[in-house]
Amino acid sequence: GQQVMQIPQYQHVQEGEDFTTYCNSSTTLSNIQWYKQRPGGHPVFLIQLVKSGEVKKQKRLTFQFGEAKKNSSLHITATQTTDVGTYFCAGYGSGGSNYKLTFGKGTLLTVNP
Amino acid sequence: KAGVTQTPRYLIKTRGQQVTLSCSPISGHRSVSWYQQTPGQGLQFLFEYFSETQRNKGNFPGRFSGRQFSNSRSEMNVSTLELGDSALYLCASSSGNTIYFGEGSWLTVV
């Protein structure tokens, strides 16, 4: 079945440093979504990318979808303590599993003030 | 607009018992999906319902079941609980591809 791998599993940075998490799917995705889960909270939708090679920005966050629609990345510029949490990527397969969203295991980001 | 509501938020059950969790989706959302979240396995898809029909199912044993009612509210049931079923169970509703999670039900099996 479809697998979504995410690296790194953990990342600790000093406030002000940049952060990147990478997501790779075993199969082509129809779209990729990113979620953030604060400690003790629930996943919150951040963004969806649909087109091959798409790049979207939300303030200090930059999201990319690979040309082959099998990989994605999330980059945070100049991290802040409010960025702490686990970032998940998730994708719908491009075949018959369009109703099943497969999540990566997430990257836990901690920020030292 | 109210978000996704899950009840109960916390519960403790004994091995061998069964449990039913409830989810009320965002008004107007007809798709409801369920996920199990554990530290080791991350977020794993359980099943998804749309208009009372299960459209997809994850790789969980038959002890895990669900249903959706005509008002889009959903329940999931786990029978013969095992220690490994201890997890955060998340319900999500969607209209289109974006899904909105509830705060989850924390289940501890002792």
Strand partners, B12: B108
Q: Which of B31, B45, B101 sits opposite A43 (nearest CB)?
A: B101
pLDDT at position B99, please?
87
B50–chain A nearest CA distance, Å: 10
pLDDT at position A1, please?
73
Provide the residue type at B78 as one letter: V
Q: CB neighbours of B30 closer than 8 A, spacing ≥ 6?
A: B50, B51, B72, B95
What is residue B25's DSSP assignment?
P
Cross-chain Cβ contact B104/A105 below 8 Å: no
- Average pLDDT for runs of 10 along chain B of length 110: 92 98 96 93 92 92 97 97 97 87 97
Per CB distance under 8 Å, which residues of A are interface residues toward B? Answer: 1, 31, 33, 41-45, 48, 88, 90, 92, 97, 99-106
pLDDT at position A96, please?
53
B106 has a chain A CB within 8 A of its CB: no
**Chain-wide mean pLDDT for chain A?**
93
